Structure 1
Amino acid sequence: MKKNLDYYMNLDYEIIVKKVKPEDGAGWFAYYKDFKGVMGDGESADEALQSAQEAFKAFVTVMLESKESIAEPNEADKSLRINISMPERLVKKIDDFIAPLHLTRSAFLQKVAMKEIGA
């Protein structure tokens, strides 16, 4: 298979999309987890995602033109979205605990799980 622009654009890279706090300018921010500096923003999550994808397309184009290697997604580190249930009171306590740490629930639960199981 020829590793051209279409090849890289169709790989399953992880893109993180986050809401920007009003005090930081509001809107949405998206970035490619595996490529520092490949990011985008917008008024909506979709706009931010599209902006990041356009930045990635430009990045890949430059890398291909300069014949530099481009990392492919690492399946071992790929995030998996899960649905869990817990008491609302516990969710509130977690949110209150992590707010000053500037962590997401997911990041906090990952840290706790890795600490408990030694991963």
Structure 2
Amino acid sequence: MKKDLNYYMNLNYSTEFKKITEDDGEVYYRVTIPKLPGLIAYGDTLEEAVSELDDAKTAWFSSCLRRNVKIPEPTNKNYSGKLLVRMPKSLHAQLAEEENVSLNSFIVSKLAQG
């Protein structure tokens, strides 16, 4: 498949929306595609910002294609939420006795804490 402007415009990129309120009370919206650095659109309404995003994408992709810059594509990974951890039996026994909760709960708690 030829990776031209139409190809990239039809990819399903994750989009982030942010409502911005200035100190003077002015409200507007910013829409970005994190996978595409520097691609930002603004609008007085969310609908306007999304519409502006299409124009920004066209310009961004066209510029990259003209300059032969690699364009990142979205990834569609599905995660099961499962993780297998191997540890020494002695550590397993120690944690199981000390924590008084399931090791799964303990590990998820520690990961969530950062």
Q: Identify the TM-score tier after normalising by the shorter chain.
A: 0.5 to 0.7
Aligned residue in 2 for 1:74: 75
Structure 1 length-normalised TM: 0.61
Q: Distance in 1 between matches of 2:8 and 2:56?
A: 13
Q: CA RMSD in A?
A: 2.2
Question: Structure 1 or 2: larger helix share?
Answer: 1
Aligned residue in 1 for 2:60: 59
Q: Does 1:20 align with 2:13?
A: no
Aligned residue in 2 for 1:101: none
Gaps of 5+ in 2: 79-107
1:1-119 map, 5 Å: 1-23=1-23, 25-76=26-77, 116=109, 118=111
Tell me by how many angstroms 1:117 deviates. Answer: 6.7
Q: Percent identity?
A: 29
Deviations 1:6-36 (A, max 9, x none): 1000000011111112427411110111122
Gaps of 5+ in 1: 78-114
Q: Distance in 1 between matches of 2:37 and 2:65?
A: 17
Tell me by how many angstroms 1:54 deviates. Answer: 1.2
1:117–1:74 distance in 2 versus 1, CA, 3 Å: farther
> Aligned residues, how many?
82
Aligned residue in 2 for 1:93: none
- SS of aligned partner of 2:48: helix
- SS of aligned partner of 2:41: strand
Aligned residue in 2 for 1:92: none
Structure 2 length-normalised TM: 0.63
- SS of aligned partner of 2:59: helix
